[in-house]
Amino acid sequence: MTIAVSLHNVCKTYTKALVVNDLSFEIKAGEMFGLLGPNGAGKSTTIRMITTLTKPTQGHILVAGYDVVRNPLQVRQHIGVVLQQLSVDADLTVWENMEFHGRLHHIPRSKRQQDIDRWLEYVELADRRTDAAKTLSGGMKRRLQIARALLHEPEILFLDEPTVGLDPQTRRRLWEIIRDLNQQGVTILLTTHYMDEVEYLCDRIGIMDGGKLIELGTLEELRHKHGAGLVMKQQSDQWDYQFFPTLDDANAYLDQQPDRTSMMARASNLEDIFVELTGRNLD
């Protein structure tokens, strides 16, 4: 089994504040890995360290077999990054954005032109190649960012909130693109605040809080550990949740209650588990 990303005992301190605390996990080659956490959990700092933008205070990070501190250039050659903030140059055309990125990666001209055409076609922007990026919709700009990140054919793609602020139809189209890339063999690390996005896309899930990794596993493993069924009971303007090993167990408990007013049983989902672990919703 090949490991695409490996973190061992990683810490990051800013002015004596411990932002990432003894973090260790691995992402397998070809895996779609979701990294979740409320604001302030250390998630963004972790991504910055993995992508060579910030040096860890201690610990070791390997990406595609290269150390992010000793071999940052080699790491960057193997990764693509799509940030939450739109980073396309608004005054350049779609094609010029791609061309500039290709030159930065020293892709030979003949190959560069072929690959630009290929990836613009892939993200359905070939017909907008001569349009200024500022004329594109938010979803189109996000697709352009993905095409640009793929131009140098990275093995590992980092997607930071790739569908934030997009309408449901556009989100679904991006999901299809992301899933197809993963099926082609691209390893993907995804951060998002959308629980349904993680449930639909990710093979495994890591949950961070307070700078630490507090849970790791597949959705089924998390549901098996924390409970696949739950009973909800409304208390004033809040809901209380009680987890059970299975939905049948939750229904049996509900049936035994003399007063089932404001109560219901259902299968648990990732958001239920996240709130149970962190004590709050994603901000």
Over the stretch 33-48, which tens digit does the pLDDT of each residue have?
A: 999 999 889 998 999 9
For 122-134, what is the mean pLDDT?
95
- 228 within 8 A of 247, measured Cβ to Cβ: yes
CA distance 56 to 52: 9
Burial 134-151 (b: 16+ CB within 10 A, else e): eebeebbbbbbbbbbbbb
Q: What pTM was computed for the model?
A: 0.90
Mean pLDDT score of the chain? 93
Q: Packing angle between helix 138-150 and helix 168-183, nearest 10 degrees?
A: 10
What is the CATH topology of the domain spanning 3-221? Rossmann fold (3.40.50)
pLDDT tens sequence across 71-104: 999 999 999 999 878 889 999 999 999 999 999 9
Q: In sequence order, what are the beta bridge partners of 34?
A: 190, 205
Residue 279 pLDDT grade (very low, low, confident, very high; cuts 50, 70, 90): confident
Which class for 206: exposed (0-12), middle (13-18), buried (19 or more C-beta within 10 A)?
buried
pLDDT at residue 266 is higher than 70: yes
Residue 1 pLDDT grade (very low, low, confident, very high; cuts 50, 70, 90): low
Domain ranges of the chain: 3-221, 228-267
Q: What angle do CA 205, 4, 172 make, to 5 degrees?
A: 50
